[in-house]
A and B are shown apart, each in its own frame.
Chain A
Amino acid sequence: MSPSRLYTASVTPPLPLSSFNVSSNFCTEENVSECILYINQELLSLCFPPIFQNSDSISDLDAVVALNNIYDLLQLHRRAVGMMEELEVEQLKSSSDLHYQHLTNSRLKDQLELSKKENMRLHERERQLETNVKTLQNCLKDTKEEVQRLQGIIASRATQYNHDIKRREREHNRVKERLNQLLIAKKENKQGMEVLNYIGRSDGRRCLWKTGKTESRHEGDMYKTLLNEFDNRQRELMVENTELKKVLQQVKREMVGVLNSKKMSQEEEKQSNDMDQSTLQTNSDEDELLKRHHEMSCDHAREKLTNSIRQQWRKLKHHVERLDSQASMVQDGDSEEVISKQLHEEEMERLKLEIQQCKEFIQTQQQLLQQQLNTPCDEETAAVLNDSYMLEEKERLKEEWKVFEEQRKNFEMERRNFTEAAIRLGHERKCFEDDRAMWIKHQFLNTTFADQMKPQSRMADEFSKHSGREEKLISISGKVSKSHL
């Protein structure tokens, strides 16, 4: 019956303590009857007998019932408080259990983590050990093979040694036998040479005595031979060296040319153009430097050349790789220089088609031509056809023939005239000659001895006049003959 001692913050007390003391909140002197009614209702709702009976008008409060009700209520209250206490205890218990469970849970989780890690570690170790075992097994196998190989070698060497030893022992025995023979033998065959006559040396010279001079000559000859050989070899190597240098220089120049021509057209490389210019500049500088040092085969020049070639080659390689990657990608006319593979292929197909068409065309033409030549059509139509082709030419030829005929006729006429003229000329000449002869005769007959000088001169004049006339005639005939031509 004691009031509950344990009141936690979460548990609200069923009734505020203060309400025991301040009871004026609910009931005052004015509202007693209402309060009584209200309490009556409440009690009825709680299945308690009513404390107030409203049958008579007298507000008569049944004290016994009220006290009983109060007692019952108090009992109830006590029971409720007891139950609450128990519930509280149980709740505390369960919360502490829960807390404990949480703790154990987390502890177990940690343990699980740890054990998992341990497991992984052990697995790892096992794996490592397995790989170790494998490598060791391989090593063992290799070593075994090596051992076998070496054993084989040792065996072959042993057979070789044995063979050798046996051979030497046999020879040794032979030597011993021969020695015995020689010791026993009484007659000793001396070695010697019989020759009919000594012959001259192959080079015809006399044999020389062995002197210090000859020895030094031999040494000298030997060194001369060696030096000649070294000289030859050095010369060959020099020639080879210069050739190779030239080739390298050329290669480098070509690479530089190729790279620069490619780089000029590419847009991405615009900013590096200046750099290229500078490299071009340095390259040309190097070329000059190398040309100057061309004769000197110093390491420095050689290194520079090889380094610059390596550099250029690296650039060229990058460039080619880039071109390859570009060609494999499909581009939509990004740069004019680079044609994508597809376009290229399409172009190829188109060209091939064109070629095929052209070939077919040529074939059909050939066929038609053949047909033309071979078709045995009617002779008339053939003749007509042939004629029709030749008509124009024939007309032209006819005209030309006409012209030729006319000319020929003209020439004939002219020739006839000329021959007649020539005949006449001949006659005239004959007459003239006769006349001249007569005239000379007359003159001669008419002259006296005293006038021989004068008539001779006169005759000469006359002769010259005549010859002049003759010349004129000759020139005329010459002119005629010329015009005839």
Chain B
Amino acid sequence: MNFSEVFKQSNQLCKVSPDGKYLATCVQYRLVVRDFSSLQIVHLYTCLDQVMHMEWSSDSLFILCAMYKRGLVQVWSLEQPDWHCKIDEGSIGLVSSRWSPDGRHILNTTEFSLRVTVWSLCTKAVSYIKYPKACQKGVDFSADGRYMALAERRECKDYISVFVCDDWHLLRHFESETQDLSGLEWSPNGCVLAVWDSCLEYKILLYSLDGRLLSSYSAYEWSLGIKSVAWSPSSQFLAVGSYDEKVRILNHITWKKITEFEHPATIMNTKAVVFKEVEKRPVVGSEDLSIHQLTVDNSLFSTQSKYEITQLPAQVPVIKPDPERANPKIGISALAFSADNRFLATKNDNMPQSLWVWDMQRLSLLAVLEQTAPVRCFVWDPRRPRLALCTGNTKVYLWSPAGCVSVNVPVEGSFQVQSLFWHCSGSSLVLLSKEHICLCYVEAEEEK
């Protein structure tokens, strides 16, 4: 595994273009575009304020930089560096800004979610969408980019509007049977919309593209409900993670639960492998503690770690959440399917140091990774069944069905990996620390 040099970034704003050729990072109010393979700076743009959100257009030709404090959005072109575009929301304020799937429209949500303005870069047309709902995930574009689903709230009732992204024509507008809609997501095949309620009620609704209610699922009443939802890439499964520390898998034919995955504190399942990260502290002799050594050789403080397989039954460290607080740190907060549909990775908030990997073919637990610190971020390789995760220390961890490995980021000064994401080809990882990024080139084969 090779590591590149370190570059600066701010606000964790670092994105790879959809075609994988360029890497854009924001450093305060500057936008730096590099060629991905050589990491040479290709373009440099200057924005009017500190950039809070940056996004590539789908055709990799434009980048939008949103500055929420000033209510500005600036769009830059890669082909024509002289081209500029500035959208000023004025006194109405700006809370979020995103591209439309065709890469020619920008959707800005005003402050207090008063309305969504659709700005066009092709025509002078401007569209307004009223009463958008400010919730966890109120907008979703279908995978083929043809439709947009938007959650709305009028007169204390939830509605869903489906727009055709071609010309922003309102295709369907129907009332949603949720009490307080918290999120919606299209299935990868674009035909089913999953809509779920807030955590006060466990309810997930499946709507067809034309607005018919296909099914409604509720596992239990009264206790805190859904925390996270994920579609499998083939649209076969819908994984629902809830506050009762279980993931329920619904199938796409009957929309009924086919199985539920539990996250017990004691793992008894004999087919599962428990990997425990064990740190090895280097032994320091007294003669090594010279100032020179301490400043130059940082490996003194960085600990090596490796994975050990724990015997079953194994105990998973549990942290009891504070019962007085709202949105307690318990339940499945993150779910991710691998790209080949075969694996599901879950994280249970009251076992924050563990990551659970499930085999979707056998519908059983495959592996549990126990780290030394809470897992901050985990992402699947977009091509292979390979999982990368980080826990906020100087290491990046990789799991694949062959085994898992922990790699120290060999950067001078410590590089605390806060988050990471894969390049679309699956051949490299972009690691982000608080102020820097580093690229990690991963080989195709994994060693244990």
Interface residues, chain A, with chain B CB atoms under 8 Å away: 150, 152-153, 155-157, 159-164, 171, 174-175, 178, 182, 185, 188-203, 207-208, 210, 214-215, 218-219, 221-223, 225-226, 229, 233, 237
Contact A226 B210 (CB under 8 A): yes
Q: Bound state CA distance, A203 and B86, in angstroms?
A: 23
Contact A159 B326 (CB under 8 A): yes
B112 contacts the other chain (CB 8 A)? yes
- Shortest CB distance A294–B (Å): 23
Interface residues of B in 118-142 (CB under 8 A from A): 119, 121-124, 126
Which residues of chain B are near A156, meaning CB under 8 Å? 223-224, 323, 328
Q: Bound state CA distance, A364 and B92, in angstroms?
A: 99
- Shortest CB distance A287–B (Å): 29
Contact A198 B122 (CB under 8 A): yes
- Shortest CB distance A424–B (Å): 84
Which one of B82, B104, B167 lies within 8 Å of A196 (CB-CB)? B82
Q: In this complex, what residue of A is CB-closest to B89?
A: A191
Evaluate whether A191 and B83 lie within 8 angstroms (CB atoms) in the complex, with A155-B323, A174-B112, A218-B164 already known.
no
Contact A203 B102 (CB under 8 A): yes
Contact A153 B223 (CB under 8 A): yes
B117 contacts the other chain (CB 8 A)? yes
Contact B111 A218 (CB under 8 A): no
- Shortest CB distance A355–B (Å): 34
Which residues of chain A are near B209, meaning CB under 8 Å? 222, 225-226
Contact B112 A171 (CB under 8 A): yes
Evaluate whether A199 and B191 lie within 8 angstroms (CB atoms) in the complex, with A156-B328, A159-B324 already known.
no
- Shortest CB distance B54–A (Å): 18
Contact B121 A233 (CB under 8 A): no
Q: In this complex, what residue of B is CB-closest to A223?
A: B210
Contact A160 B326 (CB under 8 A): yes
Interface residues, chain B, with chain A CB atoms under 8 Å away: 58-59, 71, 75, 77, 82-93, 102-104, 111-112, 117, 119, 121-124, 126, 146-147, 164, 166-167, 169, 171, 189-191, 199-200, 208-210, 222-224, 252-253, 323-328
Identify 15 new A-B residue pairs, CB closer than 8 A, beyond the known A222-B147, A226-B209: A156-B323, A159-B326, A164-B326, A171-B112, A175-B112, A178-B93, A185-B91, A188-B90, A192-B87, A193-B88, A196-B82, A197-B83, A201-B104, A202-B104, A208-B167
The 9 nearest A-B residue pairs measured at CB = A163-B326, A189-B90, A191-B90, A195-B85, A229-B191, A189-B91, A193-B87, A218-B164, A159-B326
Q: Bound state CA distance, A163 and B93, in angstroms?
A: 25
- Shortest CB distance B124–A (Å): 8
Q: Kindly name the residue among A159, A207, A222, A223 whose own CB sees the greatest number of chain B CB atoms within 10 A.
A: A222
Contact A201 B102 (CB under 8 A): yes
Give 12 pairs: A residue, B residue, CB < 8 Å, sorted on A. A157-B222, A160-B199, A164-B326, A188-B91, A189-B90, A191-B71, A191-B90, A201-B102, A208-B167, A218-B166, A226-B208, A226-B209
Contact B85 A201 (CB under 8 A): no
| Chain B interface main SS type | loop
Which residues of chain B are near A182, meaning CB under 8 Å? 91
Q: Bound state CA distance, A207 and B190, in angstroms?
A: 24
Q: Bound state CA distance, A190 and B253, in angstroms?
A: 50
Which residues of chain B are near A189, meaning CB under 8 Å? 71, 88, 90-91
Contact B84 A196 (CB under 8 A): yes
- Shortest CB distance B29–A (Å): 18
Q: Bound state CA distance, A221 and B327, in angstroms?
A: 41
Contact A157 B102 (CB under 8 A): no
Contact A163 B210 (CB under 8 A): no
Contact B222 A218 (CB under 8 A): no
Which residues of chain B are near A193, meaning CB under 8 Å? 85-88, 119, 126
- Shortest CB distance A181–B (Å): 8
Q: Bound state CA distance, A218 and B147, in angstroms?
A: 10
- Shortest CB distance B181–A (Å): 14
- Shortest CB distance A167–B (Å): 9
Q: In this complex, what residue of A is CB-closest to B147?
A: A222
Q: Bound state CA distance, A173 and B431, in angstroms?
A: 39
Evaluate whether A200 and B122 lie within 8 angstroms (CB atoms) in the complex, with A191-B117, A210-B169 already known.
yes
Q: Bound state CA distance, A389 and B102, in angstroms?
A: 93
Evaluate whether A225 and B191 lie within 8 angstroms (CB atoms) in the complex, with A150-B222, A199-B104, A218-B166 already known.
yes
Which residues of chain A are near B169, meaning CB under 8 Å? 210, 214-215, 218
Which residues of chain B are near A174, meaning CB under 8 Å? 112
Which one of A191, A192, A210, A225 lies within 8 Å of B190 (CB-CB)? A225
Q: In this complex, what residue of B is CB-closest to A182?
A: B91
Which one of B122, B252, B253 lies within 8 Å of A201 (CB-CB)? B122
Q: Bound state CA distance, A61 and B395, in angstroms?
A: 159
Q: Kindly name the residue among B121, B199, B326 whose own CB sees the greatest number of chain A CB atoms within 10 A.
A: B326
- Shortest CB distance B170–A (Å): 9
Q: Bound state CA distance, A35 and B171, in angstroms?
A: 156
Which residues of chain B are near A221, meaning CB under 8 Å? 146, 164
Which one of A152, A163, A192, A203 lies within 8 Å of B90 (CB-CB)? A192
Q: Bound state CA distance, A110 and B167, in angstroms?
A: 103
- Shortest CB distance B60–A (Å): 11
- Shortest CB distance A186–B (Å): 11
- Shortest CB distance B256–A (Å): 16
Q: In this complex, what residue of B is CB-closest to A162?
A: B326
Q: Bound state CA distance, A351 and B38, in angstroms?
A: 72
Contact B85 A222 (CB under 8 A): no
Contact A160 B85 (CB under 8 A): no
Contact A207 B123 (CB under 8 A): yes
Which residues of chain B are near A201, meaning CB under 8 Å? 102, 104, 122
Contact A226 B85 (CB under 8 A): no
Q: In this complex, what residue of B is CB-closest to A163?
A: B326
Q: Bound state CA distance, A156 and B324, in angstroms?
A: 7
Contact B122 A191 (CB under 8 A): no
Q: Bound state CA distance, A229 and B187, in angstroms?
A: 12
Contact B199 A218 (CB under 8 A): no
Q: Bound state CA distance, A329 and B71, in angstroms?
A: 89
Which residues of chain A are near B124, meaning CB under 8 Å? 198
Contact A229 B189 (CB under 8 A): yes
Q: In this complex, what residue of B is CB-closest to A150?
A: B222
Which residues of chain A are near B85, meaning CB under 8 Å? 193-196
Which residues of chain A are near B82, meaning CB under 8 Å? 196
Which one of A198, A218, A223, A229 lies within 8 Å of B123 (CB-CB)? A198
Q: Bound state CA distance, A117 and B87, in angstroms?
A: 99
Which residues of chain A are near B93, meaning CB under 8 Å? 178
Which residues of chain B are near A160, meaning CB under 8 Å? 199-200, 224, 326-327
- Shortest CB distance B378–A (Å): 27
Which residues of chain A are near B83, meaning CB under 8 Å? 196-197, 199
Evaluate whether A192 and B167 lie within 8 angstroms (CB atoms) in the complex, with A160-B200, A202-B59 already known.
no
- Shortest CB distance B258–A (Å): 15
Q: In this complex, what residue of A is CB-closest to B62?
A: A199
Evaluate whether A192 and B123 lie within 8 angstroms (CB atoms) in the complex, with A218-B166, A226-B191 already known.
no
Contact B326 A233 (CB under 8 A): no
- Shortest CB distance A203–B (Å): 7
Q: In this complex, what residue of B is CB-closest to A161?
A: B200
Q: Bound state CA distance, A221 and B252, in angstroms?
A: 22
Q: Kindly name the residue among A174, A191, A195, A225 whose own CB sees the greatest number of chain B CB atoms within 10 A.
A: A191
Which residues of chain A are near B122, meaning CB under 8 Å? 198-201, 207
Which one of B58, B71, B171, B222 lies within 8 Å of A222 (CB-CB)? B171
Which residues of chain B are near A229, meaning CB under 8 Å? 189, 191
Which residues of chain B are near A233, meaning CB under 8 Å? 252-253
Which residues of chain A are near B325, meaning CB under 8 Å? 159
Which residues of chain B are near A150, meaning CB under 8 Å? 222
Q: Bound state CA distance, A171 and B146, in angstroms?
A: 34
- Shortest CB distance B135–A (Å): 12
Which residues of chain A are near B89, meaning CB under 8 Å? 191
Which residues of chain B are near A226, meaning CB under 8 Å? 191, 208-210
Q: Bound state CA distance, A195 and B87, in angstroms?
A: 8
Q: In this complex, what residue of A is CB-closest to B144?
A: A225
Q: In this complex, what residue of B is CB-closest to A187?
A: B91
Q: Bound state CA distance, A202 and B59, in angstroms?
A: 8
Which residues of chain A are near B323, meaning CB under 8 Å? 152, 155-156
Q: Bound state CA distance, A189 and B110, in angstroms?
A: 14
